Amino acid sequence: MDTISLGVPKPILESLPEGSEAAAQDMKRAVQGVEGRINRAIEEADDEGDAAGHVVDVIERLNDHLERYDEFVPELRAWGQSPIYAIAWRNLQADLIMQLYEVEWLAEHLDRERNARLVEDGIRFGKR
């Protein structure tokens, strides 16, 4: 299994206001952290399916973050503040998920693992 390489897309960095170098660096560090966690999980995994399970955990976390940033946008606007940073972080989460699905050996396993979790959750929820 090959390691995964993630990055902050240039359009997201360019969407930040001028003088946002600190935010850009924070995004890059966050992506490096996600990449590092994924690659450690891949190294420790027994097979591609096991690795995909760990990556799905990361994707679920990214989805949670995406939703949280998305909720900030209207709230910031309501307070008369610019939501540009919340939008940039939201878009970064979505792009990272997309980057993970672009990894050939991983994409098929991700769908399979996510579907298995949906079925498992459905069965668990149905027993109540």
Domain ranges of the chain: 10-126
pLDDT in the model for residue 109 = 83
pLDDT in the model for residue 39 = 96
Q: How confident is the model at residue 34 (pLDDT cuts 50, 70, 90)?
A: very high
Report the share of the chain in percent with pLDDT over 70: 91
Tell me phi and psi for residue 47, to 5 degrees.
-155, 180
Ranges of H-type helices in the chain: 10-15, 21-44, 48-78, 84-101, 104-126
* pTM for the whole structure: 0.85
Q: How confident is the model at residue 41 (pLDDT cuts 50, 70, 90)?
A: very high
Whole-number Cα distances in Å, 24 to 5, 41, 55, 65: 18, 26, 24, 17
- pLDDT tens figures, 53-87: 899 999 999 999 999 999 999 999 999 999 999 99
Q: How confident is the model at residue 124 (pLDDT cuts 50, 70, 90)?
A: low
